[in-house]
């Protein structure tokens, strides 16, 4: 699976759908939780973004450290990949579509960057079935290979909507052109978005501060993703780099 997803992200569609990563019941619990916390969100042109939701507890932390996703993030971004952002995206009924974009850090950089090595992987978690009716995400297959800034005409020629079941996860290369859709349903549509980046990329949002209880209970995987041991990580990088330079001298 990891190989197929990895190849899809770099050389194929630029995204890959993983079915049933969590159960429909778990997804429903996350959806319900999100809808009780809408007051933490900000309005983004009629859609709601709730940023930095790691503190919502183990239910979100377990999604962040899900072994399947982490395996893929490590293969794509390195064993010391970090968490760039974790947020909820709610599409209220009849909301307008979101803007066409690539993901951070690519939108903050000049276009024309190589696809491989990737700097960022996004996960769009479906907390309920995503359909064309309720706002399945618009994606342009293969657009991670299109150099240059996203443009709407080219996007609309190729874009399709990602649909699937509650508990599915769409992983995508940070350079994939995509946008949120209109929700034509009478119920809000909920996604959880997780961004993993190479360790050298500055996180999009501030992750902390973390209190002592959080740090004491954080799993090894979460410690690594939050770069809580960044000094050790970077020392290891420097040592590997020095060894490689010595070997090639
Ligand atoms: O909520 C969605 O449909 C996807 C949003 C997304 O991928 C993004 O804003 O980067």
Q: Which atom of ligand 1 is nearest to the CA of 103?
A: 10
Q: Distance, CA 60 to ligand 1 centroid (Å)?
A: 17
The answer to whether 83 and 119 have CB atoms below 8 angstroms apart is no
The CB of 192 under 6 Å from ligand 1? The reply is no
d(CA 131, CA 56): 27
The answer to whether 82 and 177 have CB atoms below 8 angstroms apart is no
- pLDDT confidence band for 1 (50 / 70 / 90): low
- Per-residue pLDDT of 138-180, as tens digits, reads 999 999 999 889 999 999 999 999 999 999 999 999 999 999 9
The confidence score (pLDDT) of residue 240 equals 76
* Strand order from edge to edge, sheet including 160-161: 160-161, 138-139, 178-179
Q: Which atom of ligand 1 is nearest to the CA of 180?
A: 3
d(CA 166, CA 191): 10
d(CA 153, CA 10): 23
Is the domain covering 2-248 a CATH 3.40.50.10070 domain?
no
The CB of 191 under 6 Å from ligand 1? The reply is yes
Q: Which atom of ligand 1 is nearest to the CA of 137?
A: 3
Six-digit token pair at 117? 């090595």
- pLDDT confidence band for 111 (50 / 70 / 90): confident
Alpha-carbon 189 to chain mean position: 17
> Using CA positions, which residue lies closest to atom 10 of ligand 1?
103
d(CA 204, CA 104): 7
Q: Distance, CA 89 to ligand 1 centroid (Å)?
A: 7
Residue 89: which of 127, 121, 140, 36 has the closest Cα? 127
């Amino acid at each position: 699976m990891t190989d197929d997803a990895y190849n899809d992200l770099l050389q194929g569609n630029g995204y890959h759908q993983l079915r049933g990563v969590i159960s429909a019941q778990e997804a429903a619990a996350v959806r319900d939780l999100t809808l009780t916390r809408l007051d933490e969100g900000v309005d983004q042109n009629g859609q709601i973004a709730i940023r930095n939701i790691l503190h919502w507890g183990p239910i979100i932390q377990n999604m962040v450290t899900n072994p399947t996703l982490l395996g893929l993030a490590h293969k794509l971004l390195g064993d010391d990949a970090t968490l760039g952002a974790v947020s909820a995206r709610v599409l209220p009924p009849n909301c307008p579509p979101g803007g066409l974009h690539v993901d951070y850090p690519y939108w903050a950089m000049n276009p024309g960057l190589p696809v491989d090595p990737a700097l960022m992987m996004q996960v769009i978690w479906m907390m309920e079935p995503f359909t064309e009716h309720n706002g399945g995400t618009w994606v342009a297959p293969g657009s991670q290979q299109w150099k240059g800034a996203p443009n709407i005409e080219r996007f609309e020629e190729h874009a399709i909507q990602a649909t699937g079941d509650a508990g599915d996860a769409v992983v995508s290369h940070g350079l994939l052109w995509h946008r949120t859709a209109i929700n034509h349903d009478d119920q809000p549509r909920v996604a959880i978005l997780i961004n993993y980046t190479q360790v050298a990329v500055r996180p999009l949002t501030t992750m902390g501060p973390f209190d002592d209880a959080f740090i004491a209970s954080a799993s090894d995987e979460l410690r690594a993703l939050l770069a809580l041991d960044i000094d050790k990580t970077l020392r290891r990088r420097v040592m590997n780099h020095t060894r490689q330079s010595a070997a090639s001298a």
